Each structure stands twice: as structure tokens, then as C-alpha cells.
A = this chain, B = another copy of it.
């Protein structure tokens, strides 16, 4: 199949480029550690050439999503407010000065108290993860800053960020738990599940994280289980509170769609199952989202 679009998912630490056919099929992909905080003095145009390699000579439309459109990126693509449709995102693409790239804007939402939340890149993944004909769903994108997003009639209606991955990392590296935890290799499934049960409970997080210390202190948790107990605790708490977010957003969830890399999504699937919620998994949804947005923007009519 002929390539119709070069799609780019350009984040904080990594960048991925995809050759995408007219029907959305990914034909080839490349990856480079050229996230916007790792350019090490390169200008964005150089980094793009390096990422694309021989693809850089192809006269194809190029569409990027992610932190490349943030204030610290190549050019700022202002946020589109929720409810955000595919059409609204497609109508709000921003072009770099030399027209090297079109960039998808991020999304902004406000909760009932007016507090803002933002995402950039995940809106494209959510729209890409949708199965054809699937109008309403609850999407979960696990990560450093996990996103929970409700989609109704194909629109992103609301979302919330949970700092779960970052909390796990900073507590294990820099808190009192750092001295207790041996960094294990294999997943300690039993300790993870125990953490999940704890996280799904009605405890207070500032208190519950201390349980990782006291259980280790009394010998009820092995040192090589501390990291996975804490992982389960935080993911369980995110699932508990993410389901509350969804319910408030009008979506009583019996099922969630997990979007992202398999090993982390597997942990979330386990936590969802403990909470009585089914889950399905979509691996890399960015290229399909880029293709859908490009199509809606008329970029594929070569």
C-alpha cells in the first residue's frame, strides 16, 4: 500500500514516526530518544530530520501530536476545550513556521470547581483507540500522569489526570520507602494484588502509603515486595478514584479501554478486575488517531 501520511507522536522523552496508508494501516515506524526535553541543543527541524531519516525526502503530509505542541515545544498549539470533537481538533491544527509539520492541539477541561486539567497527545490516542461504530466508552491511559477520559457520541467529554506513575517513582526513590525497598526484577504478583486490595479500600492515601513501611518493619512484607505492593496500592487507588470521576462525568463504567504498553496495562487490568470492572486493551493508538485527525482535516486528499 502507498503511504498517505507521516504521523509523529512526539513526547517529552521519546519521538515515534509512522508511515500510514490511506486506510490507516501502519506500514513502517521509527523511534528516537529525541523527546522535547532531550534535544541537547538541536533545533526541532534537525531533530525531525534525524527522526525521519530517509522518509524526510517524501512529499507527504506530516501530522504530529504530543508535547511538541506545548509551550516548551516547537510551536504552541493552544488547547481545545472539552467537549472536544475530532472535527474541532482537526480545525485547530497549528503549523510550524517552515510548514515542516502540522501539530494537533491538546485538550483542556475544567471540573465542577473550575479547576483546569490538560492533556497533550492523549486526545489523539483516545480518538485513535475508538473501535469503528463505538461511540461511548471510558478510556484509561496509564503512565507517569495517567489519564481517564469519557467519550460520548465520539466526543471527549471530560477527563482527569492521576499522578500515579510519578508518585510511585518519587516515593520509591526519595522517601523513607527508598531505604526499605529492594528493586526487584520480576513482578511480585501476590504483593501487587495485596496492594491493589489496599488501594481499592476506603483508606486515606497519605496514611496508606505508610503501610508499605510498617508492613516491611514488622516483617509482613518482604523488601523485594515493597515496590510492587506500592504499585498495586497506587494503581488500585487510581482505579477506585477514576471510577468515581467517570460516575460524576455521567458514565457508570462496567468496562474500560486500557490504552498503552502491555505490561503496565496488564497491571491496570488486574486492578480493574479486582474492582469488578472489565477491561480491553489497545496497544499503540497514536497512529490511528493521527490518521483520523488528518483525514478530518482534509490532509489525505493528495
Name A70's closest neighbour in chain B (CB-CB): B217
Tell me the dominant secondary structure on chain A's binding face: helix
The reply to whether B206 and A163 form a contact with Cβ atoms under 8 Å apart is: yes
Of A2-10, A59-67, A124-132, A234-242, which binds chain B? A234-242
In the bound complex, residues from chain B placing their C-beta under 8 Å from that of A204 are 160, 162, 237-238, 240-242, 244-245
CB atoms of A167 and B206 under 8 A apart: yes
Tell me how far the C-beta of A266 lies from the nearest C-beta in chain B, rounded to whole angstroms.
20
Q: Are A210 and B162 in contact (CB under 8 A)?
A: yes
Q: How many A residues touch B, CB cutoff 8 Å?
A: 42
- On whether the beta carbons of A162 and B116 are closer than 8 Å, the reply is no
Query: 1/0 per residue A70-91: CB within 8 Å of B?
Result: 0000000000000000000000
The CA-CA distance from A115 to B113 in the complex, in Å, is: 35
* Interface check A166, CB cutoff 8 A: yes
The CA of A108 and the CA of B171, in the complex, are separated in Å by 23
A215 on the interface (CB 8 Å rule)? Answer: yes
User: Are A207 and B161 interface neighbours, CB within 8 A?
Assistant: yes
Contact A237:B206 (CB < 8 A) given known A115-B215, A118-B217: yes
Closest to A113 in B: B201
Q: In the complex, which residues of chain B have a beta carbon less than 8 angstroms from the beta carbon of A237?
A: 204-206
Q: Known contacts A115-B214, A118-B214; is A206 also within 8 Å of B207 by CB?
A: no
A209 within 8 A of B: yes
Contacts of A223-249 to chain B: CB distance below 8 A: 234, 237-238, 240-242, 244-245
- The CB with the most chain B CB atoms within 10 A, among A167, A201, A207, A242, is that of A207
A214-B166 in contact (CB<8A): no
The answer to whether the Cβ of A22 comes within 8 Å of any Cβ in the partner chain is: no
CB A29 to nearest CB in B, in angstroms, measures: 28
Once bound together, how far apart are the Cα atoms of A137 and B57, in whole Å? 75
Partner of A206, one of B113, B220, B238: B238
Per the bound structure, the CA–CA distance linking A241 and B207 in Å amounts to 9
A115, A116, A118, most chain B CB atoms within 10 A: A115
Q: Who on chain B is nearest to A173 by CB?
A: B174
**Does A56 sit at the interface, judged by CB under 8 A?**
no
**Contacts known (A163-B175, A166-B176); A210 close to B244, Cβ less than 8 A:** no
24 A-B residue pairings within 8 Å (CB atoms): A115-B211, A115-B215, A116-B211, A116-B214, A116-B218, A116-B220, A145-B210, A162-B204, A162-B207, A163-B175, A163-B207, A164-B206, A166-B176, A167-B175, A170-B170, A170-B171, A170-B175, A204-B238, A204-B241, A204-B244, A204-B245, A206-B237, A206-B238, A206-B241
Given A167-B206, A170-B174, A204-B240, list of 19 further CB < 8 A pairs?
A108-B218, A113-B201, A115-B211, A115-B214, A117-B210, A117-B211, A117-B214, A118-B214, A145-B210, A162-B210, A164-B206, A167-B209, A170-B171, A173-B174, A204-B238, A204-B241, A204-B244, A206-B237, A207-B241
